[in-house]
Amino acid sequence: MSKPVGKVYLVGAGPGDPELLTLKALRVLESCDVIVHDRLVAPELLEMVPAHVERIFAGKRRDFHFLPQHDINRLLVELARQGRTVVRLKGGDPFVFGRGGEELETLVEAGVPFEVVPGVSAANGVGAYAGIPLTHRDHAQSVLFVTGHTKHGEPDLNWTSICQPRQTIVIYMGLKPLRALCARLVQHGLPADLPAAAIESGTLPEQRVVAGTLASLPDLAAKVAFDGPVLVIVGSVVSLRDRLAWFERPEHPEVSTELLREYQDH
Ligand SMILES: C[S@@+](CC[C@H](N)C(=O)[O-])C[C@H]1O[C@@H](n2cnc3c(N)ncnc32)[C@H](O)[C@@H]1O
């Protein structure tokens, strides 16, 4: 008799700080058989998972994919067909520049049941830890999430809808094309002195923030050898950092995983 098909949980791990994991995600991680995870998932999260749970690293780093997307899709189907409960754990939220939709389409075609557990996306988590509210009644009435990643190098975006007043622009994967992006935003009407920031490894103890303007940010960012993931936020809300950047203040306690461990022990 063939084994019943298992199930895949597509789970968002949040942007870095392990305590930003949802309770539902933690419950699913504790009860699954195998985890297929990305590079952006905090190692502390994987340490909290019971030892018997198999961990498979599916990778992904800018310009270098450890497992091609179609192999990841196939792997999820194969694991579920072995009757296992699979967690596909992705950084941030799986439906925000996470290819979560593509992975689920393969599961639908293969008849594999699934559930989605949303996560805190980088825009929300990193903005919060950098002291940058994405909307504010005095600054921005709308917020746009865009990707700077393109197959051919040059950002290909709808500049007219992006370059609107009183709007915050959050750019995922925007470090490499930062100079071109800032230039296009100014060319399409945003002021060169509009505040802009690049935040590396947001929500983690090693978070670094470079803040300037559309004119100065590319040079400022080039001086810092960013190595981790970087989120770019453009808009006058960035100026609020001067008063709201709580996470970088020396009196703020280190991010710790203790609370989450306590929760698990009960
Ligand atoms: C492939 S996208 C995945 C986004 C993810 N699904 C989310 O909802 O946050 C990866 C990009 O997200 C951004 N990112 C993710 N985590 C970040 C962090 N902790 N700090 C800064 N940027 C981050 C960076 O722009 C990075 O290149």
Per-residue 3-state assignment (H helix, E strand, C coil) for the chain: CCCCCCEEEEEECECCCHHHCCHHHHHHHHHCCEEEEECCCCHHHHHCCCCCCEEEEEECECCECCCCHHHHHHHHHHHHHCCCEEEEEECECCCCCCCHHHHHHHHHHHCCCEEEECCCCHHHHHHHHCCCCCCECCCECEEEEEECCCCCCCCCCCHHHHCCCCEEEEEECCCCCHHHHHHHHHHCCCCCCCEEEEEECCCCCCCEEEEEECCCHHHHHHHCCCCCCEEEEECHHHHHHHHHCCCCCCCCCCCCCHHHHHHHHC
Q: Which residues contact 52 (CB under 8 A, 6 or more apart)?
A: none
Ligand 1 near 18 CB (within 6 A): no
Distance 66 CA to ligand 1 centre (A): 17
Q: Which of 3, 7, 17, 60 is catalytic?
A: 60
Mutate which of 38, 64, 97 for ligand 1? The one with the most ligand atoms within 8 Å of its CB, which is 97
Active site residue 38: yes
pLDDT-derived band at 111, boundaries 50, 70, 90: very high
Active site residue 265: no
Q: Which of 17, 24, 33, 38 is catalytic?
A: 38
pLDDT tens, position by position, 168-204:
999 999 999 999 999 999 999 999 999 999 999 999 9
Distance 5 CA to ligand 1 centre (A): 32
Query: Is the pLDDT confidence value at 21 over 90?
Result: yes
pLDDT-derived band at 106, boundaries 50, 70, 90: very high
- CA nearest neighbour of 96 among 132, 130, 133, 147: 147
Token readout for 73 is 């899709």
pLDDT-derived band at 155, boundaries 50, 70, 90: confident
Cβ–Cβ contacts within 10 Å for residue 82, how many? Answer: 12
Question: Which pLDDT value is given to residue 2?
Answer: 67
Question: Which pLDDT value is given to residue 192?
Answer: 98
pLDDT tens, position by position, 204-245:
999 999 999 999 999 999 999 999 999 999 999 999 999 999
Least confident of 6-10, 170-174, 247-251: 247-251
pLDDT-derived band at 150, boundaries 50, 70, 90: confident
Ligand 1 near 169 CB (within 6 A): no
How far, in Å, CA of 101 to CA of 57, rounded?
19
- CB-hemisphere CA count at 13 Å for 30? 13
Ligand 1 near 35 CB (within 6 A): no
pLDDT-derived band at 41, boundaries 50, 70, 90: confident
Closest protein CA for atom 16 of ligand 1: 15
- CA nearest neighbour of 194 among 181, 204, 205, 206: 181
Question: Which pLDDT value is given to residue 213?
Answer: 98
Q: Which residues contact 25 (CB under 8 A, 6 or more apart)?
A: 11, 12, 13, 117, 119
Closest ligand 1 atom to the C-alpha of 120? 8
Mean pLDDT calculated for residue range 91-118: 96
Closest ligand 1 atom to the C-alpha of 122? 9
Structure pTM? 0.91
Question: Which pLDDT value is given to residue 66?
Answer: 72
Query: Is the pLDDT confidence value at 263 over 70?
Result: no
